[in-house]
């Protein structure tokens, strides 16, 4: 087992826009980027959920520096920056739409909920107006600006995680086989479970490779990197991967931002190598102090243990 503490609270001042067109079309716009962690997916989901629509109703525009400012993707800060800004813009949009619907339906805006493409009275569900109709009465495309607000004072902000590994060590050949990894992460609210689990599996794949196989080997006499290819620089194959169980505490952080969410970019990559190393220690009773833990190092360690 090994644990992890990382940043991932996001960057205050991140901006995002929600643009509503008179035909009912909705765009979510932010100068961020999707490096594979699902930025487009959660931007659409957050706007859709706030506006009572489906994610496929939302057009996401990112990857352009003309769009509202967002930080780089690094240090697990994209989601906790972009998601709260998107939520903020969508809340402002829903606020105005509720106001307009309230006048039309002659009820209080607090009595209105946005769901299934409609603005509906909570107390009298017969009273409703469609999202498209209200959008039409905006008469022109209307932009709502959102931002990720400041950090809570008097608190430290971190994400937490722990990985548990079960390994098998062949003491004759020195080979380590990772059988199962249980990965638990506390990142506040999980915005999208599927992409979050996928991020954990990806981090574990990378970290398992580093733990067991991957190393750049430089020849001391020529200064040449002797393994600059995927044959000699070995990444794990599907047969080397263990069963992976990703788990999340999934409890919104009440202070961090309006969604209570933190980043998950790097956390799953952090504790896996030491978790495997600790499991190996548990199995053979000797600590390996260097990664990758290749068979030669395992055999060496076992030999030293015998000598003691």
Partner 1 sequence: MKNFKIAQPSDFKQAAHLLAMEKSGFYPMAGGTDLLDEIKNGIISPEAVVDLSSIPNASFIQTEKNAVHIGALTLVNDLIESSLIETSYPVLHQAAHSLATPQLRNVGTVGGNLCQRPRCWYYRDPQILCWKKGGENCFAYAGKNKYHAIFGGEFCFIVHPSDLAPALICLDAEVLIATAEKEKKLKMADFYHLPQENRRGETILEPGELLKEIVLPLPKKEEKSIYLKIKERSTWDFQWSRRLLRENFPEKGSMIFGSF
User: Among residues 10, 260, 20, which one has the least CA distance to residue 145?
Assistant: 20
Measured from the CB of residue 170, what is the shortest distance to partner 1 in angstroms? 10
Interface segment toward partner 1; rule CB under 8 A; list 70-78, 141-149, 211-219, 259-267: 211-219
CB atoms inside a 10 Å sphere around CB 33:
17
Tokens of 267: 């956390």
Angstrom distance (rounded) from CA 93 to CA 61: 17
Measured from the CB of residue 174, what is the shortest distance to partner 1 in angstroms? 10
Measured from the CB of residue 282, what is the shortest distance to partner 1 in angstroms? 22
Q: Is 27 a catalytic residue?
A: no
Q: Does 224 bind partner 1 (CB under 8 A)?
A: yes
- Strands (DSSP E) contained in the chain are 2-6, 15-20, 26-29, 58-61, 112-115, 118-121, 128-130, 142-147, 159-169, 176-186, 243-248
Among 222, 254, 289, 308, binds partner 1 (CB under 8 A): 222
Q: Does 5 bind partner 1 (CB under 8 A)?
A: no
Site for partner 1 in 128-187 (CB under 8 A): 173, 175
For the chain, the distance separating the N- and C-terminal CA atoms, rounded to the nearest angstrom, is: 26
My answer on whether omega of the bond before 101 falls inside 30° of 0, hence cis, is no
Among 5, 179, 217, 245, binds partner 1 (CB under 8 A): 217
Site for partner 1 in 227-286 (CB under 8 A): 227, 231-232, 234, 236-240
Interface segment toward partner 1; rule CB under 8 A; list 14-22, 68-76, 149-157, 222-230: 222-230
Distances (CA, A) of 188 to 78, 251, 279: 15, 5, 28
Residues that bind partner 1 (CB under 8 A): 173, 175, 212-213, 217, 219-222, 224, 226-227, 231-232, 234, 236-240, 294-296
**Which residues are catalytic, by number?**
266
């Amino acid at each position: 087992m090994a644990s992890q503490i990382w940043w991932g609270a996001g960057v205050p001042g991140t901006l995002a826009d929600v643009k509503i067109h008179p035909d009912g079309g909705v765009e979510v716009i932010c100068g961020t980027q999707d490096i594979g962690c699902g930025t487009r997916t959660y931007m659409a989901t957050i706007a859709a959920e706030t506006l009572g629509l489906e994610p496929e109703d939302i057009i996401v525009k990112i990857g352009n520096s003309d769009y509202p400012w967002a930080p780089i993707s690094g240090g697990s800060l994209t989601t906790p920056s972009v998601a709260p800004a998107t939520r903020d813009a969508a809340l402002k949009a829903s606020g105005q739409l509720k106001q307009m619907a309230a006048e039309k339906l002659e009820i209080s805006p607090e009595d209105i909920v946005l769901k299934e493409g409609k603005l509906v009275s909570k107390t009298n569900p017969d009273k409703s107006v469609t999202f498209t109709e209200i959008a039409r009465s905006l008469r022109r495309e209307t932009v709502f600006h959102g931002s990720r607000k400041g950090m809570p004072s008097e608190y430290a902000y971190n994400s937490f995680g722990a990985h548990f590994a079960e390994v098998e060590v062949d003491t004759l050949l020195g080979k380590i086989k990772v059988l199962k990894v249980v990965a638990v992460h506390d990142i506040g609210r999980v915005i999208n479970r599927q992409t979050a689990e996928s991020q954990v599996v990806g981090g574990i794949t990378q970290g398992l490779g580093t733990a067991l196989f991957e190393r750049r080997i430089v020849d001391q006499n020529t200064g040449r990197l002797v393994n600059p290819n995927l044959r000699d620089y070995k990444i794990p194959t599907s047969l080397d991967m263990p069963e992976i169980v990703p788990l999340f505490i999934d409890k919104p952080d009440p202070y961090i931002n309006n969604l209570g969410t933190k980043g998950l970019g790097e956390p799953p990559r952090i504790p896996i190598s030491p978790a495997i190393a600790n499991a190996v220690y548990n199995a053979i009773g000797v600590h390996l102090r260097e990664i990758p833990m290749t068979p030669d190092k395992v055999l060496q360690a076992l030999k030293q243990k015998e000598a003691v």
